[in-house]
Amino acid sequence: MSAIRALPWQQAAWSQLTRARTQSQLSHAWLVSGTHGVGKRAVVAALVASLLCEHTQADGSACGDCKSCKMLLAGGHPDAHLLCLDGHLGLAANASLQREDGITHWQPDKASKRREISIDGVRSLIEGLGLASHRQGNKVAVIAPAEDLSRASADALLKTIEEPTANTFVVLIADQALSLSATLRSRCQQLRLGLPPPDAALDWLQTELPAQDRRSLQAALDLARGAPLTALAQLQDSATPPAIAWRAALDAIASGRGDPMKLAAEIDDDTAIAFLHCCQGWLADRLRAQLGTTAALNGTRVAELNRELHDAHRRLDSNTRAQLVMEAMLIGWVRLLASQAAPSPQSPPMQSRAR
Ligand SMILES: [Zn+2]
């Protein structure tokens, strides 16, 4: 079994945590926040595992092999707690932090709509954390997403966070830290995770999905706005994420073979924003690929293509039908790309090449 580590681009965050721990200054309450899909649960799983592991590695990571690590991986560690919409459960060191067959301390009434983490769940957690450690070590609770806490639940949690029992750590995970109450935020040490550099995200995706070609990974990453775990989920979800098909269609349009009306007809109100992000990524990718070649798009054309994109964004905001917006934008692009392709003494022609 290998060590339980944070993701490759989370080393700075990991160092911050381990440094605090080595200096015995690890806060008893953490708020880990960042864009959806940036890997918050991965760094939290690594932290929890490290706090419970009986043989931590030199870099502070959990060994993955001791009895505590094995119980944690199976969602069966008695000192690892997860509070979420599904209830007060055993925490598992995996991507979702929970296991179907792990410990169940408390579950909400199945008939309830379960749109928030109820106060009964928080009470169950507080009771669990109040017991002595089963393994004479740390006790850890993760609340995810913390935005799901009801107001009463968040209030009930404050005392536990302010006056924790010995060796007790509580970690809140939130996409939007600001949506939590100021009081709750002020009681936690904050760790904010940013998006990884694009190359690091691509390299990681390639390691996760070695059979995928890099262009597909780039397309999925563009669609996920740079969030690697969202991109991975999309790629695993379906063999052909729409971004890949969209990029192929944009390539065809740029080379004069594609049909902008047909592509526009595929975009609806739900996918319009993702499509515009895909167009942005496609344009940036094309520019990167052409840097230093004689076939580069000239600066004026780039600005005009970008202006069409911004116009499309603005018109979507004003509630114009997505398909009409996309038709107008793509026809504008076809016009601009065609005029770019016409040879002129000032600017070399853009090579039409399917990429
Ligand atoms: Zn271990």
Residue 4 CA, ligand 1 centroid: distance in Å: 8
CA atoms of 202 and 44, how far apart (whole Å):
22
pLDDT bracket for residue 73 (50, 70, 90): very high
Burial of residue 20 (CB within 10 Å: 0-12, 13-18, 19+) is middle
pLDDT bracket for residue 76 (50, 70, 90): very high
- DSSP for residue 231: H
Nearest to 46 by CA among 15, 25, 83: 15
Query: In this predicted structure, what is the pLDDT of residue 200?
Result: 95
Note if the pTM is more than 0.75: no
Least confident residue range of 123-132, 162-171, 191-200, 300-309: 300-309
Half-sphere exposure of 190 (CA within 13 A, CB side): 17
Query: Mind giving me the DSSP string for 76-105?
Result: --TTEEEEETTEEEE--SSTTS--TTS-EE
Per DSSP bridges, beta strands 139-143 and 168-174 are: parallel
Kindly list the domain boundaries of the chain, sorted by start residue. Answer: 8-192, 240-341
Half-sphere exposure of 63 (CA within 13 A, CB side): 12
Residue 10 CA, ligand 1 centroid: distance in Å: 20
Query: In this predicted structure, what is the pLDDT of residue 354?
Result: 37
- DSSP for residue 4: B
Q: Report CA-CA distances (Å) from 295 to 81, 270, 305, 340.
A: 57, 35, 16, 10
Provide the greatest CA pair distance for the chain: 80
CB contact set of 176 (below 8 Å; sequence gap of 6+):
33, 147
- DSSP for residue 345: S
Residue 35 CA, ligand 1 centroid: distance in Å: 29
Residue 136 CA, ligand 1 centroid: distance in Å: 14
CA atoms of 92 and 49, how far apart (whole Å):
9
Q: Which residue has the tokens 């016409």?
A: 342
pLDDT bracket for residue 165 (50, 70, 90): confident
Residue 74 CA, ligand 1 centroid: distance in Å: 13
Residue 173 CA, ligand 1 centroid: distance in Å: 23
Residue 36 CA, ligand 1 centroid: distance in Å: 28
Nearest to 305 by CA among 275, 343, 270, 340: 340
CA atoms of 190 and 172, how far apart (whole Å):
9
Q: Name the 3-class secondary structure at 148.
A: helix
Instruction: Give me the percent of the chain exceeding a pLDDT of 70.
Output: 90
CA atoms of 337 and 256, how far apart (whole Å):
9
Q: Name the 3-class secondary structure at 55.
A: coil
Residue 56 CA, ligand 1 centroid: distance in Å: 6
Query: Do residues 289 and 297 touch, judged by C-beta distance below 8 A?
Result: no
- DSSP for residue 166: T
| 121's tokens | 């769940």
Task: Give 244 or 262, the one with higher predicted confidence.
Answer: 262
Task: Give 114 or 158, the one with higher predicted confidence.
Answer: 158
Residue 93 CA, ligand 1 centroid: distance in Å: 12
Supply the CATH classification number for the domain 8-192: 3.40.50.300
Average pLDDT over residues 80-105: 94
CA atoms of 338 and 353, how far apart (whole Å):
13
Per DSSP bridges, beta strands 139-143 and 104-106 are: unpaired
Residue 224 CA, ligand 1 centroid: distance in Å: 33
